[in-house]
Amino acid sequence: MTELNRPLPIGIQDFEKLRTEKYIYVDKTDYIYNLAQEKRPFFISRPRRFGKSLLISTFEAYFKGKKELFHDLKIEKLEKDWISYPIIKIGFASNNYSSSQKLLEKLNTLLSEYESEFNINKQSEDPSERLYRLIKEIYKDTGKQVVILIDEYDKPILDALFTPSENKNREILQGFYGPLKELDHYIRFIFITGITKIAHINIFSGLNQLDDITMNEKYAYICGLTEDELKNNFTPEITLLGERRNLSINDTLEKLKEMYDGYHFCPDTEGLYNPFSLLKAFDEKKFGSYWFETGTPSVLLKVLEKNPFDFYSLVNETKIYESIFTNYDPETNTLLPVIYQSGYLTIKSYNEESNLYTLKIPNKEVENGLFNIIIPRFTPITENELGITIDKLKTSLAENNIEMMMNIIKTAISDIPTIMKKNSCENYYESIMHVLFRLTGYYTISELQSINGRSDIVVSTATSNFIFELKLDIPDVQKAITQAIQQIQEKEYTTRYNLSNKQLYKIVVIFSSKGKGLLTWKTF
């Protein structure tokens, strides 16, 4: 069996270390060069583990003039001068900033290091004044403009999400970055990365000319890997992974695509793979949900607890205007921007006529990780019980055992959790049922369009199709059953299955409008 000795850059965020220790590097340096020729500040939003820190580190190596690190890369043929500039790099990835004091301590540490490096005496405790003086003094002493690199600018805000420290951290950062506009003459280049783009009280409000390239098609592929980049750079790893999983090359590529591809940061562009997950799959020789294993998605859980209505948006495709999902405004009710920008949803399509985007979960890795976290969080099923529950549900579907199936659903949806609002119960019931069925691996779709309407949930196995119509007990249980049966018949939900050889089951499910779970069901 094939063995490889090529070093995979798993978790390597330092460009110099990556190059000097001969890790595999997918060449993105033409983007670095093109951006560096501009004189305006840039901002880009990408999900975690998508290469933002490596991007910042590559800019750092370039602006330090370390030509030797770029040997045989695209930028070597583009850059002729290789000028070294003084650099201030501000990164927030390594700490937690749930309190404002921790943020202030981090800023003090960063500023102290640069004051020491450039022999500048500290004359104030105020971070903004210290940054102002630091930039001016560096320019005065070196005669060169300063490069400012800011990595994960929003982490201090996301760490403190929905707490009093959120506003305080935003105010601290807004004040800290104030000098960046005033000192434009002293600054050569600014590049800022983050997960979210925070609107309304913009902490970079002073940078009126900040160029957000998050959805700029020209830079769509600056982070993440395209299909061609995957094939051109990792053929030996793909081959070995296929050998270990007893798959052909084509089947291995299809599985990688299903698991890790599908991210779109602007419409009508090629899908991107999560680079961290690909590297982990190659290293461990299996298709795992590595993105979620790197840490609990605390931001997502905070968002869903704050606004349970966004739970429905995660499970089903969502149509929405760009202005709503691209900027997080802490004063609005929707937290969809945080969910989208964190990578749990991505752009599926764009309708230019209506100006509406369709968002969906990008791939199987995110779906599996997401659903395995959601179910124990929003149902009585614990993490230990989840595997057994899904296995039983899968068996009930395979055996067409409706009684067993519905009793499993009833147990899973006994009561609406206290964090869910009672007036969101219909969406909650449908979402939980959808997630449970999806976890079985059987084809599951919600709101499937028929001739005259949309069926709530459809599940398909190798031998059967199940159509579920969900209703609340309004005005009462019996009338709700009658209305549901009439709806399935009148709206012809079953028409598309008339020519199928599969067994067809039509199931009406009645839930409590008071959040008391599944009341009854009827098959007809």
Helices (H), 195-244: 227-233, 235-244
Residue 383: pLDDT over 50: yes
Query: How many angstroms separate the Cα of 40 from the Cα of each of 53, 55, 139, 192, 496?
Result: 20, 17, 18, 12, 55
Provide CB contacts within 8 A for 496, sequence distance 6+.
450
Q: Does domain 15-219 have CATH number 1.10.10?
A: no
Tens-digit pLDDT profile for residues 225-269: 999 999 999 999 999 999 999 999 999 999 999 999 999 999 989
First to last CA, the chain: 55
Cα atoms in the 13 Å half-sphere on the side-chain side of 211:
14
CA distance 45 to 54: 14
Query: How many angstroms separate the Cα of 214 from the Cα of each of 36, 40, 336?
Result: 16, 15, 16
CA distance 76 to 343: 33
Write down the pLDDT at residue 333. 61
CA distance 165 to 159: 9
Tens-digit pLDDT profile for residues 255-304: 999 999 999 999 989 999 999 999 999 999 999 989 877 655 677 777 77
CA distance 339 to 263: 14
CA distance 130 to 108: 9
Report the share of the chain in percent with pLDDT over 90.
65
Q: What is the mean pLDDT of the chain?
A: 89
What's the fold here for domain 397-523? Answer: Trna Endonuclease; Chain: A, domain 1 (3.40.1350)
pTM equals 0.88
Reported as a pLDDT band with limits 50, 70 and 90, residue 121 is very high
CA distance 456 to 444: 11
Q: Where are the domains of the chain?
A: 15-219, 227-288, 298-360, 397-523
Reported as a pLDDT band with limits 50, 70 and 90, residue 371 is confident
Same topology between domain 15-219 and domain 397-523? no
Instruction: Determine phi and psi for 442, rounding to 5 degrees.
Output: -80, 150
Residue 452: pLDDT over 70: no
State mean pLDDT over 367-391: 87
